[in-house]
Structure 1
C-alpha cells in the first residue's frame, strides 16, 4: 500500500529521511549537547547524561579487558534500575550484542535463552529473586560471568544506607568470586580507559526474544540502525515542541522492546528524561507523575486500568501529562473513555512487534484519531494486507488480510533460525515484508484496525504467553493426559491463560490442585487463571488436539 499518498496526521512528513546511527554514537551526541541534563530520575536520585555515559564507557572498557569481543553476547537480567542504562549502552560500546531477559523468567526459561543466545556475561542486581535465579543459571550453564549491581548504591545516600541496615531481607547475599563480580568492580577496572572497537549502524545490537508466529521463543536480530531509526520515528510523532523538555513516565520494563524504543532510546535521541520506577506499582507511579511533571506515558492497558481503579487518582495532579500511549495489547474502548474522562489526558492506541524494534503505528497525539484502530504507520513504513489463506497473494480490496510490514526498523531475522526467518518474511513488489500473523483492515485514511489473530499467542497485560510452553509444563504432571491452553477475556489483563486438561485413569487431583501445581512452575506472566478438568478435549478429524475448536466453544 502506498501510504505516502494517503493523508498523514502525524506532525512529521511520512517521507522524512532518518539517520542510521550506532546507539553509542546516538548517546554520545546527545550527551555532548547537554552533558548535565537529566536522563534518569530514580527514587529520589537524578542521573545526568554525562554520568551514565561515563559508567557505560567504563563498563565497555572492562568488558573488553575481560575478553569480550565484537559480536559476543552480554545479557541483562534487570528491572528498571540505572545500571540497566549503563550496561545496555556500555555493552554496545564494546561491540557486544545485548540480550534482554525478563526478570519474570524462571531458572529454566533463563537458562534456555542464555544457551540459545550464547550469552557469556549476565548483568543482574542484588535482589534475592533475580540474583538467586541468575546464580543457579551460572552454576548449570555455559554462562561465564555474572555481574551484580547493588540496588543500595543506585539510591540516594540515606535511602541506600537504610536499605542495607533495615531491609537486609531485600538484599541478596552475593557469592563474590572469580565468576561473580560486582558492578562497581568492573566500573573501577574500566575507568583506566583504552580503545574500543568501531561500531557500525548495520552491526547487530540486540537479541530480543519473542514467540514470532509460533510458540518457540526466538531471538529477533535488531541492528543499531533498526533501533536508532525506530527511536527517531517515535520522536517524530511528538507535536509538542522542544523534545528535550519531555519527561517520560518510565513504568514499562526496559527489557520489553516497547520500552526499549518508546522510553529509553526515544528519550536519548531527543534529549528528554525518564522518571523511572523499578516496577509498576500504581501509587508510586501516580506520585512519580506528579513529582516530576511527567509529560508522556507509554504503557499497556493494565497500567491505565490500575490507575483508574486506584483511590489516589482523583487527588493526583495529572496536568503535566500531554498524552498516554497504549500498546502491547488491545485497548478496550470503555477503559479509554473512562480514563480520559477521569484524567483529562488523551489515551491513544498504537501497535508494534519485537520484530519491528517496537513501534509500527500509532494514533496521532493531537487532532484526528480513530478509536478502535492502531492508528497510522510511522514514517518510512509501508504495509500490505496478504490473503489470509495464501500469503503469496494480496488480499482483495476492502477485505481484511494478514498485516505485512516493510520499513527500516524491521529485524534482520531470527538468531540461528534460518527456517523460521524464511517463514516470517515474504517477497512482494521487489521488497521483503514481515508477516505479523495479525489480520487487519485499513481505511481510506490509512488507519489500521486489527480484527483477528492468526497466531495463538495470548496477550497478557502487554506480555506474550505461548500456549504450547504452558501445555508442555502441564504434561509433566503424571496425572495429566492431554492439555490445551487458550486465552480468555479478562477485564484487567486483556487476556488470561486458562488450561483445559484430561486426566489419566488413575489420577487423583482436581482443578485447584493442578492450577497451584502449574503456577508454581511457570513465569508470573504465564500463570493461568484456572485449570478445567474435562472428560475429553476437541480433536481434529485426524485426532490432533484442536485449540481452535476449543477457543470457539469457550468464547462463544
Structure 2
C-alpha cells in the first residue's frame, strides 16, 4: 500500500520544506527573545491604547514577581477567566515565567462549570476583571471551590484616557464592586513591585505550560496537557507558513485568547515574530471592521461565522480592508461561497486550516500563496505527519482510496489528558493522535475531511456524513447556514434531519428545501425534515454546533419509563 505521506512530500506547496525541526523552546524564552529584539515595537493595541514590547515585558515581569510573593511556584495552576484584554497577556507570560501552568476558562462559563473545572485542574489563583459579566461568577466560585485567591483587574485602567473616562462615567452599570476580602487582590496591587525576581528553570519538553480543556462535545471536558514545546513549536510552525516574513505583521485579535486557535495563531505566533496584536474584548463585527481599518491589520484569523458576520454588516461596503493580506479560517468547515465572496469584497486571501485542542492549535492549512483547494484543509504544516487509520481497526492503515480516521504526529501534539489515563489510551494509537475525523488525501496531498466519526449517522447500517448534506444545502441560494444531525428512528435506527437559516430576503419553506435536497440524495441519505430557524446554535468561538440540536431532538423522544408508577 502506498504511503499517503508521499503525496504531500512530493507535492509540498508551503514555503520551504516539510522536513523541519523546531528546537526546544519555553514560552517565557519565546517572549523574552521578542522583547529583547523589538523593545520599541508595538506588541498590543487595545482599543487605541498601545503597549510596546518593553512595556509589555515590564508588566509580565511584575506579574511574575507578584505571583511569586503570593507563594505561587512551579507546577501550580493559575486560571485566566478573562476576555481579550491586556491583563491576559501579562498574566499568561508572567505566570509561565515562574513555572506555573495556565488554565484557560471561558468568560461564558456558569458558576457550576467554572467551579467544576477549577476543582478538576486544582487551580489555586484566578485572574478576572471587574466586569459585571465576570466578577460575580468568579466570586461565587471563590466561595464554593478550592480556589484560594482572585486577582481582579480594571478595564478602565488599560483604556486610552478619554475612553477610560467615558467607561467610568457612562458604563458604571457594567462594573462590579470588588469586595473587601483578603482573598481578593487588585491587579494593580499584584504588579506593585519592581519586576526583579528570578525566573523558573523550565524543561520545554516536559513541563506543562497550559491545561486547555476540550469543548466537551462528548462527555465531561478533559484538560489537554500542552507543554511549552508543544505551544512554541506550533507557533513557529504557523509562522513558517508565511511566504513574506519580512512584511509588516499586525494581527486582528478578535478570536478569544482562551481558545487554542487564538492562543497559537494570535498570541504566541505573533509575539514570536515581534508583531502587533490589535485586541478587542469580544467579537463585534462593526468594531472589528473599524479596528482593521485603524491599525491596518494584515491578517485576521477567525471562524467562518465571523467572516460571514463581517460580510453581513451594513458598513462592509465602506470599510477599508485593503491592508488585509491573508486570513486563516478554522474551527469549522468553510463554505466555498463564503470564501469566494469574502475574497471578492476584501481582496485578501481566505484559506482554510485545521487543528485540535490536543494539537496545540494547528495541524494543516491551505498554502497562502499557492494552490488553494476549497473544501479541503490543505497540507500538513512543517514537521507534522498525517496518516489515515482504518475506521474499524485503528491499528491498521485505511484501505487505499477509502476514507480513514485522520491521525497526527508532530512536536505540537499534547502530552496527554490531565488525570485521564483511560482517555489517553483511547486517543493515542502507537504514538499517533487519533482525531476522530474521517478524511481522504487526494493526489496533490491535500486533505479533505469527510466527517466527524462520532457525527456519522447510521441509517439501516449505511453511514451518512452530515457534512456532505450540509455542503449541498450551501449550494442553494437561499441558505445562509446549515446543520444536519441524526434523529432516532424506530425502523432504521437514525434518520438525517436538516436545520437551516436563510439569507435576507429569501422566501422558501422547509418542505420545499427538503424536496430540493432529497432529489440529489440516495435513498438512505434523504432527510426526514428541513427546519428553517432564525438562528442556529454556536460554540463559544462562534462555530456552528450540533450538540444543542441533538439534545433537543433527544428530549422529544419519550422515556421508556414514562407513565410507570
Q: Shorter-chain TM-score: which interval? A: 0.7 to 0.9
- Structure 1 length-normalised TM: 0.83
2:310 to 307, 311, 314: 307
Where does residue 281 of structure 1 map in the other structure? Answer: 284
Q: How far, CA to CA, are the matches of 2:150 and 2:497 in structure 1?
A: 36
Provide, for residues 234-260 of structure 1, a one-character-per-residue CA deviation record: whole Å limited to 9, x for no partner.
Answer: 0001012315x2101111000000000
SS in 2 for 1:296: coil
Q: Is the 1:426–1:435 contact (alpha carbons within 8 Å) kept by the matching residues of 2?
A: yes
Provide, for residues 70-100 of structure 1, a one-character-per-residue CA deviation record: whole Å limited to 9, x for no partner.
Answer: 1000000000000000000001001100000
Residue range with higher mean Cα deviation, 88-97 or 47-56: 47-56
Provide, for residues 302-352 of structure 1, a one-character-per-residue CA deviation record: whole Å limited to 9, x for no partner.
Answer: 000001111111111111100111100110112112212222222110000
Structure 1 unaligned spans of 5+: 460-464, 468-483, 494-518, 545-556
1:139 to 139, 143, 162: 143
Aligned CA RMSD, in angstroms, stands at 2.9
1:206 to 184, 206, 210: 210
Q: How does 1:423-442 map to 2 (within 5 A)?
A: 423-427=426-430, 432-442=431-441
Where does residue 54 of structure 2 map in the other structure? Answer: 50
Provide, for residues 205-258 of structure 1, a one-character-per-residue CA deviation record: whole Å limited to 9, x for no partner.
Answer: 000000478322000000000000000000001012315x21011110000000
Count residues with an aligned counterpart. Answer: 487
- 1:176 Cα shift? 3.4
1:537 aligns with 2:540: no
Q: How does 1:508-523 map to 2 (within 5 A)?
A: none
Q: How far, CA to CA, are the matches of 1:300 and 1:242 in structure 2?
A: 26
- 1:49 Cα shift? 1.0
1:341 to 337, 341, 344: 344
Where does residue 180 of structure 1 map in the other structure? Answer: 184
Where does residue 446 of structure 2 map in the other structure? Answer: 447
Structure 2 unaligned spans of 5+: 457-465, 468-482, 486-493, 504-536
Q: How does 1:22-421 map to 2 (within 5 A)?
A: 22-188=26-192, 190-191=193-194, 193-202=196-205, 203-211=207-215, 214-242=218-246, 245-421=248-424
Q: How far, CA to CA, are the matches of 2:548 and 2:218 in structure 1?
A: 20
Q: How far, CA to CA, are the matches of 1:487 and 1:94 in structure 2?
A: 51
Provide, for residues 503-525 of structure 1, a one-character-per-residue CA deviation record: whole Å limited to 9, x for no partner.
Answer: xxxxxxxxxxxxxxxx9xx9897
Q: Is the 1:126–1:172 contact (alpha carbons within 8 Å) kept by the matching residues of 2?
A: yes
After superposition, the Cα gap between the structure-2 partners of 1:213 and 1:231, relative to the gap in structure 1 and judged at 3 Å, is: same
SS in 2 for 1:298: coil
- 1:192 Cα shift? 5.5
SS in 2 for 1:297: coil
- 1:404 Cα shift? 0.3
Q: How far, CA to CA, are the matches of 1:274 and 1:82 in structure 2?
A: 10
Q: Is the 1:213–1:437 contact (alpha carbons within 8 Å) kept by the matching residues of 2?
A: no
Q: Is the 2:256–2:541 contact (alpha carbons within 8 Å) kept by the matching residues of 1?
A: no
Structure 1 stretches of at least 4 aligned residues deviating more than 6 Å after TM superposition: 522-527, 533-536
After superposition, the Cα gap between the structure-2 partners of 1:453 and 1:170, relative to the gap in structure 1 and judged at 3 Å, is: same
Where does residue 473 of structure 1 map in the other structure? Answer: none
Residue range with higher mean Cα deviation, 168-177 or 297-306: 168-177
SS in 2 for 1:105: coil
- 1:114 Cα shift? 0.6
Q: Is the 1:176–1:182 contact (alpha carbons within 8 Å) kept by the matching residues of 2?
A: no
Where does residue 513 of structure 1 map in the other structure? Answer: none
